[in-house]
Amino acid sequence: MNMSLLNQPFKTNNPGLLGCCNPPQMLPFQQQQQQQQQNRQQNVQDELLTGQDKQKKQEVDALLSEAMNNLTFQEREEQQEFLHGVDKDIAEEKDLIDNALHDLDAHLMRIKNGSVYEIAERMNPAYVNS
């Protein structure tokens, strides 16, 4: 395997320039390579399936498709929203939200401490907060 500098992922522990900017997790070509590797793994898994396994997989897919097609549009939409976590009926308590916002604020203050953003904020708060 060719291990050039371009094939290596960024180090995530690098704080970036003056501690303010973290490099991206993956560059586009690295994402493409990862997707290709996942596709190859899926192909290997598909090759390992026996004829009976492939038939069972097709039967399950057909049953699921048929079941979804038998639902009304509203029922199908509700199932999709529930599956993807965007259900409209999310019950959120005020205390839970307040605690989460407090935790977020504390985290942002911790990561801001000693950063270039904090220096800029001390130099010209009106510019930073506008």
Q: Is the pTM of this model over 0.85?
A: no
In which band, very low, low, confident or very high, does the pLDDT at 33 lie, cut at 50, 70 and 90? confident
**pLDDT over threshold 60, residue 10:** no
Residues present in the chain in total: 130
Task: Give the separation between CA 23 and CA 10, rounded to whole angstroms.
Answer: 7
Contact in structure between 19 and 114 (CB atoms under 8 Å)? yes
Could you tell me which of 101, 83, 80 has the C-alpha nearest to residue 92? 101
| pLDDT cut 70: percent of the chain above it | 76
Which amino acid type is present at position 4? S
Q: Which residues contact 118 (CB under 8 A, 6 or more apart)?
A: 112
Q: Which residues contact 2 (CB under 8 A, 6 or more apart)?
A: none
